[in-house]
Amino acid sequence: MGWYLCYVQEMEADWDANDLRGTYSLVNSQIQLTLDAAVASAIQGEPDDQELEGEFSSYWLPDKKVFLLSDVVEKVELQCMVAINGHSAGKSDASSGEEWIAYEKEDESEFKEWMKQRELTLRDDKSFLTSYFKIKPSRLAGVVWPPEDLRSVIQWLTEVDLSARGRILDHFVNNPVKRHVLLFDVHHQDLVGLYVELNIDATGLNTYPKKNNRKKRTGRVAKSGTLISCLSAKRSVIKFIRIGVTRADKKTILSRNRRRSAIGNLSTQRIALIGCGTIGGYLAGLLLRSGAGCGNARFDLYDHDSFGPQNFGRHTLSTANFGQNKAAAIAASLKSSTHLNCKVEGKSSRFSIDPELLKLYDIVIDATGRPPVAKRLAHVVRTMPSTKRPKLVHGFNDGNGRASKVLIDDGSCCFGCLLADPAFYKNGLDMRFSEIDSNEERFVSCGNTFTPYDAAVSVITASMMQEAVLSTLEPKLSWTYSEHMLDGNRSRQPRHLPRQTTCKICHDQH
């Protein structure tokens, strides 16, 4: 049926690689169980064929692969282009470096960016008409698979989904062109595709009236039986190629790793990231991959500092970026990391903490690690009407790199409340780090302070901040404060930070 054993190919499966005899026996037993279940399903007339769910498309055995850059629906016309990898251009076997790309016309800019980033060139200027069809088969088991020609495909559709067969026949009549790419979205399976090159004269498709003239009852009438006979004839099909389909559209990419994709992603949120140092550098990429800047909403990065060799060990930027502004360099790096249209802008200036700028954003992220910035942000947003106030997310490394701490300020508490918590803080310092000699661990010079620790803590802080930003999309926050201790101390559980009566920010004592 296929060319690999899915029982041991599945990456999540656990089997003993040191006991091949036992593994073969286990696989044999599983195959028997699958066959028994499939036969029982066929006898009982159950349409879902649960034993084959997810397997059907695995045995499509494609000869080519197409990347689908658009989120498609039926009756929307796409086009497919064939590109060649720059390293394969001019070689005798250039087909080995071919890449097929399908997309809607409105996604032309993403197609061009895809070509640029993957160093592709068009093989020629010919495009294939590409159409998408939903298939809801009455059964999966008991059919010859994969189909070897167009006749087999039509026969399969006749057996399992007459409605889909009718739509595909109509497609050929309405589009009497030589080359077609057909995308089949089989219910509970992955997308599969076909490339069909027709002999138009042999099929007789050009003898049917155009769609606009059919109501006038002029010309030949399209009959299913005649169409099937014509399309099934050997001389009607010049080429038949099975295609594997890989979704690369925005919706698929941004929702792939979301536990609850229904709540959306960050593409609808106007976001400001203040600070593009160690934490901000890692966080920016995580936010982009969660949708920030990938829609109509802006994603702005603020940092007035430049990137230098001393920053290399704890940053995502490279040697090529030495001397460049951190915000601008990260923005350029983010844009060059994806073919999706990104509204990411690096601003080589400090973030002006005033209501006029703050109201332009839905989420403002403080990755500076500087308490004065956090306190000022918390104070100024409380002077704004609640309807125009952005949510604040603060993240910082504490204890000279011994802890990652993240706070969500949704108006119920603030950064000042954290420092005013008498259970853990005294004079604005975490009492768990009271024994640390900060002066001993820090290198201080005029205008510069450096604390040596590796990037692990910053990566953790950035990850926690990504979680915090994504949690603001939820109807209700499950926590407003979270921490992770790296020195062996016990981390406090994520919690809703209480508003402190002694917090000067929340009680407007400034």
Task: At 285, list the tokens.
Answer: 């990429």
For residue 225, the SS3 value is helix
| pLDDT value of position 3 | 53
Which of the listed ranges 6-15, 266-275, 444-453 does the model predict with the highest average pLDDT? 266-275
Domains of the chain, earliest start first: 56-251 (no CATH), 264-485 (3.40.50.720)
Length of the chain in terms of residues written: 510
6 belongs to the catalytic site: yes
> Angle 162-174/150-160 helices, nearest 10 degrees?
140
Cα(271)–Cα(465) distance, rounded to whole angstroms? 13
Whole-prediction pTM? 0.84
Q: Which DSSP helix (H) or strand (E) runs through 334?
A: helix 326-335
In this model, does residue 43 exceed pLDDT 60?
A: yes
* Contact status, residue 334 vs residue 284, Cβ threshold 8 Å: yes
Q: Which DSSP helix (H) or strand (E) runs through 398?
A: strand 391-398
Instruction: Give me the phi and psi of 481, to 5 degrees please.
Output: -140, 135
- Alpha helices in 352-400, H assignment, sequence order: 355-358, 371-381
| pLDDT value of position 211 | 62
Cα(248)–Cα(61) distance, rounded to whole angstroms? 20
Average pLDDT, the chain: 87
Q: How many C-alpha atoms does 72 have within 13 Å on its Cβ side? A: 28
pLDDT band at 1 (very low <50, low <70, confident <90, very high): very low
**Average of pLDDT values for 172-184?**
95
pLDDT band at 91 (very low <50, low <70, confident <90, very high): low
List 6, 230, 294, 413, catalytic entry:
6
294 belongs to the catalytic site: no
For residue 205, the 8-state DSSP code is: G
In this model, does residue 295 exceed pLDDT 80?
A: yes
List 230, 342, 414, 446, catalytic entry:
446
| pLDDT value of position 10 | 56
In this model, does residue 489 exceed pLDDT 90?
A: no
* Contact status, residue 120 vs residue 83, Cβ threshold 8 Å: yes
Q: What letter represents residue 374's amino acid?
A: A
In this model, does residue 140 exceed pLDDT 80?
A: no
Cα dihedral sign, 151-156-161-162: positive
Instruction: Give me the phi and psi of 406, to 5 degrees please.
Output: -135, 135
pLDDT digits (tens, 9 = 90+) for 231-253: 999 999 999 999 999 999 999 99
pLDDT band at 478 (very low <50, low <70, confident <90, very high): very high
pLDDT digits (tens, 9 = 90+) for 203-226: 888 888 766 554 555 556 678 888
In this model, does residue 162 exceed pLDDT 70?
A: yes
pLDDT digits (tens, 9 = 90+) for 324-383: 999 999 999 999 999 999 999 999 999 999 999 999 999 999 999 999 999 999 999 999
* Contact status, residue 508 vs residue 382, Cβ threshold 8 Å: yes
106 burial (CB, 10 Å; 0-12 / 13-18 / 19+) is: exposed
Cα(53)–Cα(190) distance, rounded to whole angstroms? 10
| pLDDT value of position 37 | 76
* Contact status, residue 500 vs residue 416, Cβ threshold 8 Å: yes
| pLDDT value of position 414 | 95
For residue 135, the SS3 value is strand
